[in-house]
Structure 1
Amino acid sequence: MIDVGAAKRAAAEQAAELVQDGQRVGLGTGSTVEFLLPALAARGLTTIRCVATSPQTERQARELGLHVEPFDALDRLDVAIDGADQVAPDGWLVKGGGGAHLREKVVAQAAAHFVVIVDESKVVDALTPPVPLELRPYGLQATLHLVGELGKVVLRDAPTSPDGGLIADLHADVADPAALAARLDELAGVSAHGLFAPAPRQDVVVGR
């Protein structure tokens, strides 16, 4: 039986070793990142500049002594480290279980090196639903109607995202994640979806 906590810690500690002093670091959100932050703080790096994808990550990072700043003065990150809900063999990811996938996508795309940290249970043969969504409040019913043409949409009984978006889950066929991602990208009412295409410099660290 998998010791999930130990597996997450192993992946997080390995990823923390990839960070070098002086780098600009994007910090993701989620249970595996909760193991990353103390591992990174323990490195004693004094000149790293961090940005956080959620208030909870920022709060925990600051409590551990990591330097976190707003993501408005940096135009590029050296590395971003984040978890995932699913990792497919071709590198496609499903993210957003924690409802921060818009910021997670912004940070991942800004990074020269994107490191995904997961326990072995998150490695799948093929992606499966649901796909998390962040929806704009304006015109919500119209957006739900359009997204509903792709599959069943369920609004979460959860707080809004850090940027005021409503969090939902789409239960749809994800056999072709690129095609589904393209359809969702066309919908103006969808701020972000949890399908992450393989990044040019993406590594996956799997804890076992």
Structure 2
Amino acid sequence: MSDPIVMMKQEVGKAAAARVKSDSIVGLGTGSTTAYAIQYIGERLQSGELKNIVGVTTSFQAEVLARKYNIPLSTLDVVDRIDIAIDGADEVDPQKNLIKGGGAAHTQEKIVDSLAEQFIVVVDGGKLVDKLGSTFLLPVEVIPKAVVPVMRKLEQLGGKPELRMGVKKAGPVVTDQGNLVIDVKFDSIDDPATLEKTINNIPGVLENGLFVGVTDVVLVGEIIDNKPVVREI
């Protein structure tokens, strides 16, 4: 018996991959659901159903997967546009604003996803929230020398900051850019757009995980009567 949650992630990934058209430049996101989208884009290329696709990845993880499934890759200094980007999220609010960065890749993700003509978010129903910050901490990528002053500033903004520590690694998590991640608990993020700008203006902050006004489509996977169902928001 297949795990219904795995099947649901596969279905959402497939639904997103199905929206990719030939002759397009595709932003390839990070995370478990997006991994299935990358797999299915690769399979559509192999079968000849898709032609002339170029991927732009948001992390080492996405790059490794894209190579595994033989998706040709390029970089942002070469491509002149991104037609469609597919990525996951840790939280999605009713306005389609996001918190991302559970995988510590949110800086590259924001660059790629913001450039895309169409940005598709793939999530399971558990990621939908009424208000951002209610279930997930807000990741803030910081240059290593600035960790302490940035944490002080985040406390002044009402947050409870904590340096993200590695799992199966001694010491903190290091991003693909060689920086550190501070996870911040806010009791309530009432104005995500202002908070995103305010945090990014703190010296030493590279980028934070609030994605405001970037998402075009959200594909939500849910399990109904033990069957995976995908709906669009």
Q: TM-score range by the shorter chain?
A: over 0.9
Q: Which amino acid aligns with 1:190?
A: V
- 2:82 paired with 1:77: yes
Residues 9, 207 of structure 1: 8 Å contact kept: no
* Backbone CA RMSD of aligned residues: 1.5
Give the Cα–Cα distance (whole angstroms) in 1 for the partners of residues 162 and 4 of structure 2.
31
Q: Which amino acid aligns with 1:186?
A: N
Superposition TM-score, scaled by structure 2 size: 0.84
Q: Identify which of 147, 168, 177 aligns with 1:163.
A: 177
Q: Partner residue of 2:109?
A: 104
Residues 130, 169 of structure 1: 8 Å contact kept: yes
Give the Cα–Cα distance (whole angstroms) in 2 for the partners of residues 99 and 3 of structure 1.
27
- 2:52 paired with 1:62: no
- CA apart distance, 1:4: 2.5
Q: Identify which of 158, 168, 176 aligns with 2:191.
A: 176
Residues 99, 161 of structure 1: 8 Å contact kept: yes
| Per-residue Cα deviation, 1:129-188 (whole angstroms, up to 9, x for no partner) | 411111112333222221221211111113311111201201113132123212212212
- 2:209 paired with 1:190: no
- CA apart distance, 1:96: 0.6
Q: Partner residue of 2:231?
A: none
How high is the sequence identity, in percent, across the aligned residues?
A: 37
Correspondences of 1:132-151 after superposition (within 5 Å): 132-150=139-157, 151=159
Q: Partner residue of 1:205?
A: 219
In structure 2, the residue corresponding to 1:161 is in which secondary structure?
coil
Q: Partner residue of 1:125?
A: 130
Gaps of 5+ in 1: none
Give the Cα–Cα distance (whole angstroms) in 2 for the partners of residues 105 and 86 of structure 1.
15
Q: Which amino acid aligns with 1:184?
A: I
Superposition TM-score, scaled by structure 1 size: 0.93
In structure 2, the residue corresponding to 1:134 is in which secondary structure?
strand
Q: Which amino acid aligns with 1:155?
A: L
- 2:102 paired with 1:87: no
Give the Cα–Cα distance (whole angstroms) in 2 for the partners of residues 207 and 139 of structure 1.
39
| Per-residue Cα deviation, 1:87-129 (whole angstroms, up to 9, x for no partner) | 1111111111000000000001111110001111111222224
Q: Which runs of 4+ in 1 moved over 4 A?
A: none
Residues 87, 124 of structure 1: 8 Å contact kept: yes
Give the Cα–Cα distance (whole angstroms) in 1 for the partners of residues 55 and 125 of structure 2.
27
Computing the radius of gyration over CA atoms, which structure comes out larger, 1 or 2?
A: 2
Give the Cα–Cα distance (whole angstroms) in 2 for the partners of residues 139 and 101 of structure 1.
18
Correspondences of 1:7-18 after superposition (within 5 Å): 7-18=8-19
Q: Partner residue of 2:227?
A: none
In structure 2, the residue corresponding to 1:32 is in which secondary structure?
helix
Give the Cα–Cα distance (whole angstroms) in 2 for the partners of residues 207 and 111 of structure 1.
22
123-132 vs 101-110, which moves further: 123-132
